[in-house]
């Protein structure tokens, strides 16, 4: 069957799908005006996520959406913030800016969000510390996390703990950083804590201990299955590189 006919049939099928499932009718024009790109976008954004309902499907949807309109999320968050400068909208815009690498703007908005009943909000403080760390402002990041812990004594968050350990390491307090990493390895849900712990051990000349930690990370990943390995593939790849040195 000629490729042109196949393309037309796919377009017709997607147009029918739009109508029957009550999708936004703008998809009809996208599919018709952009036969290839429009059909692929509709497939990844609307059809596949519905069929699978999987994390991979949702991730594909986000990636295609980002490709088609890279600034859509930031623009929407900025518009909401412009209409209503609430803490929630400020926090949401800060998250989008941080995801885009606009860290200084994100820090400013996170700090602005810390007001009223949200003055010591652990989620805002954690995100602020993350942005400060990404900017290389390690002392500020650790100070923010100290403030989080002081005003939220019942809050337990592995990501905040890892960030605290990394900031402590960056500030040159090796003994304290090793102590934090050692505690983290026992409960952190991914391989990151073990990897950073091993790297610091190695840097301190404790190579055998570092290798033992890395082997433990690898074995845990093997026992945890493919999903775990897929989610953490970047860190696990670094673990393997270190083990074959």
Residues 92 and 111 in one domain: yes
> Which range of residues forms the domain containing residue 229?
156-245
pTM of the predicted structure, to 2 decimals:
0.72
Angle between helices 174-185 and 192-203 (to 10 degrees): 150
Which CATH number goes with the domain that contains 82?
Answer: 1.25.40.10
As a whole-number percent, the residues of the chain with pLDDT over 70 amount to: 89
> Quick one: 9 exposed, middle or buried, by C-beta within 10 A (0-12, 13-18, 19+)?
exposed
As a whole-number percent, the residues of the chain with pLDDT over 90 amount to: 55
Residues 185 and 139 in one domain: no
- Is the pLDDT at 37 greater than 90? The verdict is no
* Domain end call among 68, 92, 109: 68
| Mean pLDDT over each residue of the chain, to the nearest integer | 87
- Please tell me the total count of domains within the chain: 3
pLDDT of residue 160: 95
pLDDT bracket for residue 54 (50, 70, 90)? very low
Is 151 contained in some domain?
no
Residues 140 and 162 in one domain: no
- Is the pLDDT at 66 greater than 60? The verdict is no
Is 182 contained in some domain?
yes
pLDDT of residue 69: 57
- Is the pLDDT at 231 greater than 70? The verdict is yes
- Is the pLDDT at 199 greater than 90? The verdict is yes
* Domain end call among 22, 44, 68: 68
The better pLDDT of the pair 174, 67 is held by 174
pLDDT bracket for residue 132 (50, 70, 90)? very high
- Is the pLDDT at 182 greater than 90? The verdict is yes
Is 60 contained in some domain?
yes
* Domain end call among 68, 93, 118: 68
**Of the listed ranges 55-64, 93-102, 139-148, the one predicted with least confidence:** 55-64
Residues 141 and 197 in one domain: no
């Amino acid at each position: 069957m000629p490729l042109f006919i196949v393309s037309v049939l796919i377009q017709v099928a997607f147009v029918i799908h739009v109508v029957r499932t009550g999708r936004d009718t703008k998809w009809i024009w996208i599919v018709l005006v952009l036969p290839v790109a429009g059909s692929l976008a509709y497939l990844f954004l609307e059809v596949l996520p519905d069929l699978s309902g999987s994390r991979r499907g949702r991730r594909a949807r986000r990636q295609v959406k980002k490709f088609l309109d890279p600034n859509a999320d930031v623009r929407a968050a900025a518009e909401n913030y412009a209409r209503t400068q609430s803490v929630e909208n400020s926090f949401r815009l800060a998250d989008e800016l941080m995801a885009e690498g606009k860290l200084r703007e994100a820090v400013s908005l996170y700090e602005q969000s810390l007001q009223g009943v949200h003055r010591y909000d652990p989620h805002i403080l954690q995100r602020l510390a993350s942005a400060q760390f990404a900017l290389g402002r390690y002392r500020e990041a650790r100070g923010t996390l100290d403030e989080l812990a002081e005003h939220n004594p019942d809050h337990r968050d592995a990501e905040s703990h890892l960030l605290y350990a990394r900031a402590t390491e960056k500030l040159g307090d090796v003994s304290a950083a090793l102590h934090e990493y050692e505690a983290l390895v026992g409960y952190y849900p991914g391989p990151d804590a073990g990897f950073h712990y091993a790297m610091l051990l190695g840097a301190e000349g404790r190579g055998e201990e570092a290798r033992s930690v890395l082997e433990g990370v690898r074995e845990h990943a093997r026992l945890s299955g493919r999903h775990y390995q897929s989610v953490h593939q970047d860190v696990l790849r670094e673990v393997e590189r270190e083990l074959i040195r």
